[in-house]
């Protein structure tokens, strides 16, 4: 009986150590000497700047209906597909009836002002609404892989991962990586960070930009972990039942 109790206690200790704790998967934890979480410096938000191969869409607003129909771009109501305009390698876009406009390196607001000024040279009352067409980020790894639309400015890493259904328990929150393209054909920038620390807020790792790829690796010890205490209890129950059956069988064999 003592051996049986010892085995049960040992099994319980092993399984308890295999559960995912708040320290391992919890967000916004305060860095302490015990958890050794990193402390990140604050960094000012930098608006996204249009790059080569990005695509933009625009809407022309004017009282001149003839010019609006002829030059309106994406004015057609109920249109299923928008006409997008790609930024060429020289940084320009080619809008019908306008000279090539250099918009690479500009923010959306700056590009909108540039396009509005160009239209007002031929339509005095022209106004323009411009948006980035390829406003997406991608997720791969243990966080429900897919491509997701950036629906707001200053989307942060928590909002982005929430769109995927959050990082799986087996995902390595200590080494989240963002692969971010650079201009001029340079190698992409790779940002690696621990998402569990509360100092990630307003750091350089906090905001997600168009064309970002978020990679969540799987932890090495995830094979030995149970996803929840419900799973833990189920494992304990099945293990005890199996052990009891084996001990009863052994006891009957020696009678």
Report the top-level CATH class of 55-132: alpha beta
- Which pLDDT band holds residue 7 (cuts at 50, 70, 90)? low
Comparison of pLDDT for 143 and 3, the residue scoring more:
143
Q: Are 225 and 64 in contact (CB under 8 A)?
A: no
| pLDDT score recorded for residue 224 | 47
Q: List pLDDT tens digits, range 15-50.
A: 444 566 788 899 999 999 999 999 999 999 999 999
- Residue 87's CB: how many other CB atoms inside 10 A? 23
Three-state secondary structure call for residue 119: helix
- Return the structure tokens found at 168: 């799986």
Q: Are 168 and 227 in contact (CB under 8 A)?
A: no
Q: List pLDDT tens digits, range 132-164.
A: 999 999 999 999 899 999 999 999 999 999 999
Rounded Cα distance, 154 and 33, in Å: 32
- Tell me: pLDDT of 84 over 60: yes
142-147 contacts, C-beta under 8 A, 24 or more apart: 142/167, 142/168, 142/170, 142/171, 142/172, 142/216, 142/217, 142/218, 143/167, 143/168, 143/171, 143/214, 143/216, 144/168
Helix 229-253 / helix 2-17 crossing angle, nearest 10 deg: 160
What is the distance between the terminal CA atoms of the chain, rounded to a whole angstrom?
17
| pLDDT score recorded for residue 72 | 62
| pLDDT score recorded for residue 81 | 43
Rounded Cα distance, 129 and 74, in Å: 10
Q: Are 4 and 247 in contact (CB under 8 A)?
A: yes
Q: Read off the pTM.
A: 0.76
How far, in Å, are 77, 83, 132, 205 from residue 80 at the CA level? 9, 10, 17, 35
Q: Average pLDDT, stretch 202-214?
A: 97
Question: Which of 5-19, 38-52, 107-121, 209-223 bottoms out in mean pLDDT, i.e. has the lowest?
Answer: 5-19
* 103 phi/psi in degrees, rounded to 5: -125, -5
Q: Where are the domains of the chain?
A: 2-19+226-253, 23-47+135-223, 55-132
pLDDT, mean over the chain? 84
Rounded Cα distance, 57 and 115, in Å: 11
- Residue 125's CB: how many other CB atoms inside 10 A? 11
Q: DSSP letters along 49-88, please?
A: ---TT-EEEEEEE-S-HHHHHHH-BS--TT-SS---EEPP
Nearest by Cα to 152 from 210, 104, 193: 210
Q: Average pLDDT, stretch 202-215?
A: 97
- Tell me: pLDDT of 226 over 80: no
Q: Are 228 and 188 in contact (CB under 8 A)?
A: no
Report the top-level CATH class of 23-47+135-223: alpha beta
């Amino acid at each position: 009986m003592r051996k049986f109790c010892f085995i049960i206690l040992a099994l319980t200790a092993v399984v308890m150590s295999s559960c995912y704790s708040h320290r391992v998967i919890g967000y916004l934890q305060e860095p302490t000497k015990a958890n050794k979480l990193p402390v990140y410096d604050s960094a000012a938000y930098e608006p996204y700047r249009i790059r080569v191969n990005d695509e933009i869409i625009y809407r022309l607003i004017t009282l001149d209906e003839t010019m609006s129909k002829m030059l309106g771009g994406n004015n057609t109501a109920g249109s299923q597909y928008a006409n997008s305009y790609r930024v060429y390698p020289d940084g320009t876009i080619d809008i019908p009836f306008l000279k090539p406009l250099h918009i690479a390196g500009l923010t959306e607001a700056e590009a909108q002002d540039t396009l509005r000024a160009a239209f007002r040279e031929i339509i005095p009352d022209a106004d323009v609404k411009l948006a980035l067409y390829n406003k997406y980020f991608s997720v791969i790894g243990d966080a429900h892989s897919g491509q997701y639309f950036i629906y707001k400015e200053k989307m942060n890493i928590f909002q982005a991962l929430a769109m995927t259904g959050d990082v799986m328990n087996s995902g390595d929150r200590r080494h989240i990586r963002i692969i971010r393209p650079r201009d001029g054909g340079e190698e992409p920038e790779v940002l690696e960070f621990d998402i569990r620390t509360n100092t990630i807020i307003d750091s350089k790792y906090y905001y997600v930009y168009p064309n970002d790829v978020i990679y969540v690796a799987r932890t090495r010890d995830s094979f030995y972990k149970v996803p929840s205490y419900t799973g833990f209890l189920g494992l304990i129950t099945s293990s005890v039942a199996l052990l009891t059956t084996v001990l009863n069988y052994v006891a009957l064999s020696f009678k």
